[in-house]
Each structure stands twice: as C-alpha cells, then as structure tokens.
Structure 1
Amino acid sequence: MNYYAVLLPMKDEEKSKQFRPQHLAFLKQMREEKKILMNGRFTDGAGGLVIYAANSLDEAKSYLKKDPYIVEGARDFEIHEWAMETDVKFDF
C-alpha cells in the first residue's frame, strides 16, 4: 500500500461552500472504505489536505476524481506520493 498526499487549494469559494456537505460525505465514505488515511482543512481557509491509501498513483487519482470538490470545480489539486514515517500503528 502506498500513500498519496493531495493538496486541495481553494479555486472557487462559493462552490466550496455549496458542495461542502457532499465533499464531507465523500471523505467519510472513503475513510470507512480504508481508502483515505486522514484528511482535514487548513485553518487559514486556503484549502485542505487528504492522504489517500492506494496501490498506485493512477488508483489514487481515480479516487480523487470522484470528490465532489474536484467534479464541481470548487478546488484544484496537487498530488504527491508520500513516504509516511511514524511510530503510530494504524489498523488498516
């Protein structure tokens, strides 16, 4: 399993407000399916960060492209494979 850090910078604030409930529901479902490790918004309003768990970059992008924020043009995205290092053990 690989991890992919996705930055979601603000593109359209009004669309972000409009599609926030759908985006949050998407994130919750993806966490339940163990496809997202963690996510959160930036407190300065600049956007957010999602850490996807996937077997490949293409698989991570396929998840990301289902996010209502991306589908509806509310946010841009930047994706990077992330070599996570931690002593914390996650139950995935």
Structure 2
Amino acid sequence: MKHFVVTLEFTGTSMDQEVSAAQAAFAHRLYNKGALVLAGPFGDGEGGMAVLRCDSLEQAEKLYRDSPVIRSGHATFKVREWKVLLGEI
C-alpha cells in the first residue's frame, strides 16, 4: 500500500453542523476500514489534512471526492502521493 496526503482548503462558506457531523462520520468510516491513517484541521482554521493508505492515486482521489465537505462545496482538495522515508505510521 502507498500513502497519500489529502489537503483541504475551505472555500469560506460557513459549514453547518450537519455537514460537520457527516464529515466526522465519513472520516471514522475510512479510519475503521484502514484507509485513513491521520486526519485533522490546520491550526489556522483554513483547511485540513489527511493521510490515506491506498493502492493508487486514483483510489485516494475517489475516496475523498465522496467526502461530505467536498460534496457540499465547503472545501476543495488535492491529493499527492507521499513516499515515507523515515518513521512509522
């Protein structure tokens, strides 16, 4: 399996509680399936990041395209393969 970093940038539209709760549930599902390794918002509140474990870039992009925060238009995302050289996750 490869690792991928997903960066989210919020669009500036206020996210309601329903989208926020759906996003949390989405992240928990990915984590429980073993696809999500780490996730969380940036300290400045302008976006967030996730580390995924997938077979391909296309698979990682497809996973996050279904994210409630992306589907609702509250954020945009970018996925990049990350080649871990040191450390364990």
TM-score normalised by length of structure 2: 0.90
| Displaced runs of 4 or more, over 6 A | none
Tell me if 1:56 matches 2:75.
Answer: no
Shift of 1:86: 3.3
Give me the identity figure in percent: 22
Q: Distance in 2 between matches of 1:21 and 1:4?
A: 24
Counterparts of 1:7-86 in structure 2, within 5 Å, are: 7-15=7-15, 18-86=18-86
CA RMSD for the aligned pairs?
Answer: 1.5
Whether the aligned pair in 2 keeps the contact of 1:7 and 1:79 (CA below 8 Å) is: yes
More strand by share: 2
Distance 1:67 1:30 in 2: 10
Tell me how many residue pairs correspond in the alignment. 89
Gaps of 5+ in 1: none
Task: Give the C-alpha shift of residue 64 in structure 1.
Answer: 0.6
1:17: how far off? 5.2
- Matches of 2:32 and 2:16 in 1, distance apart? 23
Unaligned ranges ≥5, structure 2 = none
